[in-house]
Amino acid sequence: MEIKILGTGCPKCKSLDKLTREVVEKYGIDATVTKVEDILEIIKYGIMSTPAIVVDGKVVVSGRVPSSDEIKQLLTS
């Protein structure tokens, strides 16, 4: 699984990156997590607000920081 955290570096973006990495590690999810801060790359996903989570090329959350339970659900469903 490939997970991308889209965000320019604001506190919410950093928080989402940290939380996602914690969930992946805690539940032993087989995934690669990368942080995308390049605005031109972020625009390609068509989102209007960051932070966002992209799983295997599909935007699953945008414009907010979900709870760790919600992140776990998104990554294990």
- What separation in angstroms does the CA of 49 have from each of 5, 25, 43, 45, 52? 12, 26, 10, 11, 8
Q: Which residue has the tokens 């995308």?
A: 36
Residue with tokens 């570096």: 9
End-to-end CA distance of the chain: 12
Active-site residue, selected from the candidate residues 10, 11, 34, 63: 10
State the catalytic residue, choosing from 3, 5, 6, 13: 13
Catalytic site includes residue 10:
yes
Say whether 67 is catalytic.
no
Give catalytic residues, as residue numbers. Answer: 10, 13
